A = this chain, B = another copy of it.
Amino acid sequence: MAAEPVWSVDPRTGKPREQVAVEASAEEIDRAVRAAHAARAALADRTARALLLRTAAEAIDRARDHVVEAADAETALGPVRLTGELARTTAQLRFFADIADEGAFLDVRISRADPTTTPPTPDLRRMKIPLGVVAVYAASNFPLAFSVPGGDTASALAAGCPVVIKAHPDHPATSELCVALLRRAAREAGLPEDVVTLVHGFDAGLELIRHPLVAAAGFTGSVRGGRALFDAAAGRPVPIPFHGELGSLNPVVVTEAAAEERAAEIGAGLAASMTLGQGQFCTKPGFVLAPAGAAGDRFVAALTDAVSDTEPGVMLDHRMAGAFLDGVRERAALPGVTTPVTPGAGGEHTVGAGVLAVDAALLAGDGHAALLEECFGPVTVVARYSSREQVSAVLGLLPGNLTATLQMADEDPDAASLLAELTPLAGRVLVNGWPTGVAVAEAQHHGGPYPATTSPFTSVGATAIERWLRPVAYQSTPPHLLPPELRDEDEGA
């Protein structure tokens, strides 16, 4: 069977640009994973990992114009956004270089021998070690920051795990360009270039997750694709951790008092957040509980005005644009759903943003479940509530989320109880902000109850590294045989 070609496609025209690669065969996957596995030992040195990450960051920064141009041609995300994403990506590589250097993630714990406990405690010294080869499934919507040089790759390398990356079909040329930069950085850092490998193809992705030498996986994408890979990871003879970020509605609650105080500001802010990058962020606020009545009407009017003013935009690919149009059509056709701004096709290759509205009381019924599912693209659903109890009833229907947002007034009688109800629903809870924009920080958490993520871990921020590690305890081990990090200080290296 001839290998399937992998094409780079221009989403602004739907036309193929160039053939970039071919899909990987099972033998090629096996070769890539074995080469990565063989490169593990070279990553044992944390200094070398940090050097690799910093060298890669410098190389990507130097190639900025070229990378941004390649990514824009395949994703239509535009040079401004992509220049920002590139800066975020290289900052993230340096952030994980610092983390590798510092070593706090090793979580060293030492229990000295104590014969008085039950049972007696021997000398125990514990630290975390890398799991092995990590499979990374790149995202469509972040061709850099959640793709080849993105957070999964950076955190896995910082942990000491070689990565085999499955490219997203929406940006294969960008992926090839970035992996070449990463592999050259590895060589320059004195490491085998097989610490990072790229493969293409849907079937290749399934082969990869099933490979016996793959020890863990990171994924950013749809519920359907992520769940299929999760199931494959769990169904292996030796199951492996699958850290997937699948989908999120990112609910927003606008309190009565907030609407009274800031209806116009909240409406404009929501419009900006939900249309940012054509609504193609996993943190897009896709569902809003807003009060019925005059203040809520003012909020909806402001939202409607701002969304009506946005220009139609190009989505990441035509299949996604089609799914968006189908999704909004299905939702708009539900009984009781109105369209303050009708989302839809803006032209041959663009889609227009929109707003749907519904009485919150209708959501408890069977027929409206689609309104509580993510619709990827520039649309949000406003559910109008007429009592505090109705807010609780609707929140009780929501699946897990990456984020949950409270828009409250300065003095707001409902704020505390609503925060308590929003916390179980999400991994990040925001007050008077918007969830798009995920800072790379120590305290960040980008994850949440399923389907937001498949595990209680984050894919952004310092603790993302925890996904690629497991503890090992050494008992009564002579100092000279211990890893240096576990020796007493006076025992040196």
Contact = CB atoms under 8 A, between A and B. Distances in A.
Interface of A: 84, 87-88, 91, 109-111, 114, 117-122, 124-126, 129, 131-132, 230-231, 234-235, 238-239, 241, 399-400, 415-416, 419, 423-424, 426-433, 437-445, 447, 449-451, 454-456, 458, 462-463, 469-478, 481
Contacts of A415: 478, 481
Contacts of A400: 238
A472 B87 contact: no
A431 B481 CA distance: 10
Contacts of A431: 474-478, 481
A419 B234 contact: no
Nearest to A427: B472
A110 B445 CA distance: 11
Nearest to A230: B239
A124 B427 CA distance: 12
A111 B445 CA distance: 11
Given A241-B455, A431-B475, 16 more contacts: A110-B443, A111-B439, A119-B439, A120-B437, A124-B441, A129-B423, A234-B234, A238-B449, A426-B472, A428-B473, A428-B474, A431-B476, A431-B477, A431-B481, A445-B472, A447-B470
Which has the most chain B C-beta neighbours within 10 Å: A238, A416, A472?
A472
Contacts of A131: 456
A238 B472 CA distance: 30
Contacts of A238: 399-400, 449-451
A111 B443 CA distance: 5
Contacts of A433: 122, 475-476
Contacts of A119: 84, 88, 437-439
A399 B439 CA distance: 40
Closest 6 CB pairs of A and B: A456-B470, A234-B234, A111-B441, A445-B473, A111-B443, A124-B443
Contacts of A239: 230, 234, 450, 454
Contacts of A473: 427-429, 443-445
Given A84-B119, A87-B118, A476-B431, A471 B458 contact: yes
A398 to B, nearest CB: 12
B429 A118 contact: no
Contact of A470 (B84, B427, B432, B478): B427
A427 B126 CA distance: 9
A456 B118 contact: no
8 contacts: A84-B119, A91-B117, A110-B443, A119-B438, A230-B239, A431-B478, A445-B471, A445-B473
Contacts of A451: 238
Contact of A429 (B241, B454, B474): B474
A429 B114 CA distance: 18
Nearest to A108: B443
Contacts of A432: 476
A439 B117 contact: yes
A144 B462 CA distance: 38
A419 B427 CA distance: 39
Contacts of A132: 424
A438 B122 CA distance: 9
A230 B442 CA distance: 32
